[in-house]
Structure 1
Amino acid sequence: MMITGEALIGGLAVKGSEGGQRAFNPATLQYLEPEFHTVGAAQIDLACRLAGAAFDSYRATSDEQRAAFLDAIGEQIMELGEALLERVMAETGLPRARVEGERGRTVGQLQLFANLLREGSWSDLRIDPALPQRQPPRPDLRMRLIGVGPVAVFAASNFPLAFSVAGGDTASALAAGCPVVLKAHWAHPGTSELVGRAIVKAAAICGMPAGVFALLSGSGNTFGAALVAHPAIQAVGFTGSRGGGTALMAVAAARPQPIPVYAEMSSINPVFLLPQALAARAEEIAAGFAASLTMGVGQLCTNPGLVLALDGPDLERFKQAAALALEGGAAGTMLTPGIAENFLGGVHRLADHADVATLALAPQQGGKGAPALFSTSGAAFLARQELAEEVFGPASLVVACRDLAELRQVAESLEGQLTATLQLEPGDYDAARGLLPVLERRVGRILANGFPTGVEVCNAMVHGGPFPATSDGRSTSVGTAAIARFLRPVCYQNLPEALLPAALRDDKLAGAWRRVEGELTCE
């Protein structure tokens, strides 16, 4: 499958109408062919209008038809073979093993949503039959969830497959019956086109309407704002910076019809080293922490950017072991020059801060990121809001608290996070009980005796959290619960049987999960 630099609208390849740009290989510092042209306002409008026109026919497809579509997308991605792997590596500098693993995750989450559709409980069918003899009489009431409408998805920079064109936002929206208009990320446009063409091919094979998916190429605030502002778009999925996410939220809120934005933005993922665990395993924890911090050159949204513990000899053991593990770390290629520049700026900001001590600072190189570890006191952290800002890359800050009360105070001061980790032993359980209510209010996932990097794609996973980790802490972007972002309830009152959706009729075949008068049944 050739890369042409074209957008994909209505099932057809379309050349953008505005100036072009090329992908950049961060490992070789070379530009890649071909040139990609930014779509213009008319092309954005066309893609959105086609998605709107496709919505009713697409959401009317059966669960099995949409499941087969998702399976077909996965098959077509695998059919791309070596060409896809090589292009991803060229555009990102990521190693083959990481790319192969991410491809597997991408296909796996498509299969996960296909399985959810086949299982059938996703639409939350509810029936409360009429009670004509009751005073006052109760009407016949039946409810289901349906897709909200076309979804605008913004591909991520740090996951060119799993959070991009056919990533979790696209998979969950398509599963919900929502067409997708996707903005490709400028950092990996060739990868995006290859995967986009795989989706278009799968749509044709499965007989889906042409407007069910569009891939738009381009960059800039104006481009994103035009997409979110289009009246056909009914929800937004975004993974990226806090500034970018909040800008889209403002556009969505200012529309004549405001729409929800599900944005994953900023998280420093605190790791709490409780006293007994630190005394028993300081060096072991340090080794695991260093591996987690440097995974993927630190360019993971669950990177452990903050460590909190009680000051004392055991924390010194941890700091010395972690510094030793990180000091000799080699600089790794970062995904884009911009990410590398921002990381270096964040490292320098901490290194030069009057209330921060440098524990480890491996030699930094242009376009790359090397491990960095810093420390400060609990009092300084509470007084200096800038110390809680995310540094996207392999850098972390250790906060030494004077006692458990200050540790909890620091935890209370944190913004919303994707994760929080507790390193603990049985003797720490009382301290953990004191922290858990705080963490439940602050984060989406609480881990024990592990590290936050690595997000399992499964039914129970939550990859979200209170603002600014995400724009809506009630949602997740990973796991089958992600489909809920793009659904809304519809109730049918006294609608004749012949007009009811098939799944809500009295003669519905066995096998569908429904809640009848409050009782969950599969009759």
Structure 2
Amino acid sequence: MSTATLDLTAVTAAAAAAAKVTAAASDAERAAWLTAVADALDANVTELVAIADSETNLGTVRLTGEVGRTTAQLRLFAKVITEGSYLEAVIDHADPSATPPQPDLRRILRPIGPVAVFSASNFPFAFSVAGGDTASALAVGCPVIVKAHSGHLRLSERTAEIVIEALASAGAPGGIFALVSGREAGTALVQDPAIKAVGFTGSIPGGRALFDLAVSRPEPIPFYGELGSLNPVVVTSAAVAARSRELAAGLAGSFTLGAGQFCTKPGLVFIPEGTDFAARLAEASKDKAAAPMLTERIAEAYAPGLKSVADQPGVTVVSGIVEQDSLADGAAPVVFSTTAANVLERPGELLEECFGPTTLLIEYSSQEELARALAKVPGSLTATVHAEPQEDISALVEQLSELAGRVLFDGWPTGVAVNWSQQHGGPYPATTSLFTSVGATAVRRFQRPVAYQDAPESILHPALHESNPLGIPRRVDGVLKLS
């Protein structure tokens, strides 16, 4: 056994030991841990942003805002667990007269144990060491081991130091949080028996390889992966007629935001044939500057990705240059165009994600052709529709709801609110599960239900006590009671 494996085994063993303490900790205690981490990150924001900018070239404005989002996430989950409905506490009292007789049953969600979290490249704070996966797992009492992303390793190490110190100062148990790095460590982490679930944000090939490892273990575990998303947009004829220039400006801003490296970038835009929208978009995109990409690997893959699209029969370049050196010069926007009929002929070639500031316009000739082309689009995080108030879009919205986890109206998908109602997840390959990775219900990924039958109250979680000492929402004998 290698030294690296021995070290990892020690880390996961410490996490397993900590899990007993974190599971028994009160919601108030865990909320205090999360708040302490948030406060520590805010206190060190200048240092962290400087490190992040040197490794990612995302700029201090964007990175400072992302630290704010990250600490807001931590504080949101502190509120989620003290509010209490996350436990889904249910009580059904005994009823001897029922057929068959009904025992006393009390059900609650409990933490599943140590969790592995894989950092993302495109959000070095919000989806990284102290990001949403880490926050939601710690909130419900699951120790976390983060696999650092190689694209911002120094930042990951410094962030981890701050997190560990903050947790210890707040009274959290040793072993509750750790950081590992390297591909071998990541693979071993998914296979370690102490790990009970995995959170991942990254590419389809990398995520699928880890997913297969997770489900092929002697004890398969949940793998919550966010892998890839095309985020289709549908623009109706009436919308183009009413506000073509406005729509083009909005789309240009969205698909180029962050050099097109947001997971919610609108990569496919369905437009009616015979309009001026392509010309409008070319005009709106022409002054969007090239921007550095997150890593060398991503930058080197952009031009080949563009060429793969450009080389497909029936595809034209609306604006931009396909042949570019995005590693040396930054990634410049490129807009492509094709038809829905062409997509129906070669969906495998045309419906592939190209990471970077590019989008594909798809002209449809009828509602029926639009519906058939949308049916070929893989599962996405978002789907967007731009229509006018008088239009009946109910059938279209129903189809988009089957395709994506979040459906937007007259807006753009880049930008994800962190709140109670958010759904950031969709059918595969957008995610490998039904749950969200952003917002309050992200905690559901790291809990499992347990029912207690005829149990003495002294051994039950306070949420299941008859008097409801926590004052939380519960369902009692089929009736939802808010306190």
Is the shorter-chain TM-score for this pair beyond 0.5, marking a shared fold? yes
What one-letter code is carried by the residue in structure 1 that aligns with 2:156?
Answer: S
Task: Give 1:192's aligned residue.
Answer: 156
2: CA distance between counterparts of 1:292 and 1:498? 55
Match status 1:205 vs 2:169: yes
Aligned-residue offset at 1:137: 2.5
Aligned with residue 436 of structure 2, among 476, 481, 485: 476
Aligned with residue 229 of structure 1, among 151, 173, 191: 191
1:275-424 alignment, distance < 5 Å: 275-312=237-274, 314=275, 317-362=276-321, 364-367=324-327, 368-384=330-346, 385-424=348-387
Structure 2 unaligned regions, length at least 5: none
Match status 1:252 vs 2:214: yes
Please report the TM-score for the alignment, with normalisation by the length of structure 2. Answer: 0.97
Aligned with residue 268 of structure 1, among 225, 230, 233: 230
Aligned with residue 107 of structure 1, among 71, 82, 86: 71
Task: Give 1:467's aligned residue.
Answer: 428
Match status 1:434 vs 2:398: no
Aligned-residue offset at 1:189: 0.9
Structure 1 unaligned regions, length at least 5: 1-16, 19-38
Q: Residue deviations 1:363-409, cap 9 Å, x none?
A: 73341211000001111111112100000110111111111110111
Task: Give 1:45's aligned residue.
Answer: 9
Tell me the percent identity: 46
2: CA distance between counterparts of 1:243 and 1:134? 53
What one-letter code is carried by the residue in structure 1 that aligns with 2:128?
Answer: S
Task: Give 1:81's aligned residue.
Answer: 45
What one-letter code is carried by the residue in structure 2 that aligns with 1:395?
Answer: T
What one-letter code is carried by the residue in structure 2 that aligns with 1:279?
Answer: A
Aligned-residue offset at 1:203: 1.4
What one-letter code is carried by the residue in structure 2 that aligns with 1:266?
Answer: G
Task: Give 1:21's aligned residue.
Answer: none
Task: Give 2:468's aligned residue.
Answer: 508
What one-letter code is carried by the residue in structure 2 that aligns with 1:189?
Answer: L
Quick one: structure 1 residues 434 and 136, their matched pair in 2 at CA, closer, same or farther if it must change by over 3 Å?
A: closer
Q: Residue deviations 1:84-143, cap 9 Å, x none?
A: 110010010011110011000000010110011111111011111112344542211111
1: CA distance between counterparts of 2:263 and 2:302? 14
Aligned-residue offset at 1:510: 5.8
Task: Give 2:103's aligned residue.
Answer: 139
What RMSD, in angstroms, separates the aligned Cα atoms of the two structures? 1.5
SS in 1 for 2:390: helix
SS in 2 for 1:375: strand
SS in 2 for 1:69: helix
1: CA distance between counterparts of 2:407 and 2:309? 27
1: CA distance between counterparts of 2:101 and 2:344? 59
What one-letter code is carried by the residue in structure 2 that aligns with 1:343?
Answer: Y
2: CA distance between counterparts of 1:133 and 1:322? 69
Q: Residue deviations 1:44-96, cap 9 Å, x none?
A: 11111111111111111000000010000001111213211100100100111
2: CA distance between counterparts of 1:406 and 1:310? 11
2: CA distance between counterparts of 1:406 and 1:356? 18
1: CA distance between counterparts of 2:186 and 2:146? 10
2: CA distance between counterparts of 1:327 and 1:510? 58
Please say if residues 45 and 67 of structure 2, whose CA atoms lie closer than 8 Å, have aligned partners that are also in contact: no
Match status 1:128 vs 2:103: no
Please say if residues 331 and 364 of structure 1, whose CA atoms lie closer than 8 Å, have aligned partners that are also in contact: no
Q: Residue deviations 1:218-256, cap 9 Å, x none?
A: 2x2x33221101001010000000001110111011101
2: CA distance between counterparts of 1:318 and 1:120? 49
Q: Residue deviations 1:291-342, cap 9 Å, x none?
A: 0011001000000111102211x2xx21101112223432100011110111
Please say if residues 462 and 469 of structure 2, whose CA atoms lie closer than 8 Å, have aligned partners that are also in contact: no
What one-letter code is carried by the residue in structure 2 that aligns with 1:490?
Answer: V
What one-letter code is carried by the residue in structure 1 that aligns with 2:289?
Answer: A
Q: Residue deviations 1:129-169, cap 9 Å, x none?
A: 11234454221111110111111000000000000001000
1: CA distance between counterparts of 2:117 and 2:259? 25
